[in-house]
Amino acid sequence: MKINFTKLIRESDEKLMKIHLAKEMYENGLFKSIKSAENMIQYHQSGHAKSCDWELLKYLSMRFNKKAADIIQWDD
């Protein structure tokens, strides 16, 4: 499973970087530090994730106004 954060940010047409998204997620209580949010972004971007936190998926869905199915890319 993979979450392509680069694509999410690009399609949002916002001037946003992954570090800013990590800071937003930290400020919204999803992570205990900005660094842990950054690490999660890298982990999901790499495609090594076996699962996804429900709160994270819900946040990304609301933040980028997309369905969860459009956010997650499943491995074949």
- At residue 32, what is the residue type? K
**How much is the pTM?**
0.86
Cα 69 to Cα 26: distance, rounded to the nearest angstrom: 23
The amino acid occupying position 74 is W
> 39-75 pLDDT, tens per residue?
999 999 998 888 888 999 999 999 999 999 999 988 7
CA distances (Å), origin 8, targets 32, 61, 67: 23, 10, 12
Kindly report, residue by residue over 12-25, the tens digit of the pLDDT: 999 999 999 999 99
Determine the pLDDT at residue 52: 86
In angstroms, the CA 10 to CA 16 distance is 8
